[in-house]
Amino acid sequence: MAKIGIFFGSNTGNTRKIAKLIKKKFDDDLMDKPLNVNRVEIDAFASYEYLILGTPTLGEGELPGLSSDCETESWEEFLPKLEDLDFSGKTIALYGLGDQVGYPDEFVDAMIEIYDFIKERGANFVGEWPTDGYEFESSESIVDDKFVGLVLDQDNQSSLTEERLNTWLNQIAPAFGLPL
Ligand SMILES: Cc1cc2nc3c(=O)[nH]c(=O)nc-3n(C[C@H](O)[C@H](O)[C@H](O)COP(=O)(O)O)c2cc1C
């Protein structure tokens, strides 16, 4: 088992694609292959000290899952299964996908649901991200004037994704003990 686990939910594949892009930057000793949360055992998830978690926002500011018309279960159904886990000692970085033009009033709102749920259970979050460079009205996923994780908008700003990703990975590298 590698040191870092990377898990995502995804409806149309964008969040999966980003997980794969991240994985490409690290060898198998450091990071295991990305897994969709709809087919993850809790024990496997809980075994990592370092986690990168990705989610799109669907519905109206919701986590992906059956309520937001995903074809399979996703974070909505997976998160409650983590209820009894103790995350203390774990370091977690979040990334979220959204559409700032189509959904300016609930831009990347789903990230905060994962953040709040897991933070309450003791995790140390890293990788907060500035709100500069995005145009939106409102987002729940802002704490202390920053997004709680990396925000990517494949619908409107896909040309910025690679650079944002590299900057963010460099930012979280020390906390993850990564050689970047
Ligand atoms: C039905 C639907 C609802 C959406 N709702 C939101 C939303 O509330 N907030 C947001 O920022 N993006 C929203 N989006 C945009 C998605 O988050 C975005 O397209 C994302 O890249 C999808 O990722 P996926 O391909 O991994 O599912 C929505 C997209 C769809 C199709």
98 ligand 1 Cβ < 6 A? yes
The residues, any chain, with a CB within 8 Å of residue 48's CB and separated by 6 or more, are 1, 3, 4, 5, 90
Residue 156: helix, strand or coil by DSSP? Answer: coil
**Closest by alpha carbon to 109, among 99, 119, 101, 118?**
99
The residues, any chain, with a CB within 8 Å of residue 12's CB and separated by 6 or more, are 56
User: Do you know the residue count of the chain?
Assistant: 180
Atom of ligand 1 nearest to the CA of 108: 11
**pLDDT tens digits for 45-94?**
999 999 999 999 999 999 999 999 999 999 999 999 999 999 999 999 99
pLDDT for 177: 87
Count the Cβ atoms, other than its own, within 10 Å of residue 8.
27
15 ligand 1 Cβ < 6 A? yes
What is the secondary structure of 52-83 as a DSSP string?
A: EEEEE-BTTTB-SSGGGT-SS--HHHHGGGGT
pLDDT for 62: 98
pLDDT for 1: 82
Structure tokens at 174: 């020390």
The residues, any chain, with a CB within 8 Å of residue 129's CB and separated by 6 or more, are 146, 147, 148, 149, 150, 151, 168
pLDDT for 176: 93
**pLDDT tens digits for 140-150?**
999 999 999 99
Mean pLDDT in residue range 97-115: 98
Q: 4-176, what's its fold? A: Rossmann fold (3.40.50)
Residue nearest to atom 27 of ligand 1 (CA): 11
158 ligand 1 Cβ < 6 A? no
Model confidence band, residue 178 (pLDDT cutoffs 50, 70, 90): confident
* Cα 129 to Cα 20: distance, rounded to the nearest angstrom: 21
Sign of CA dihedral 12, 34, 116, 104: negative
pLDDT at 180 over 70: no
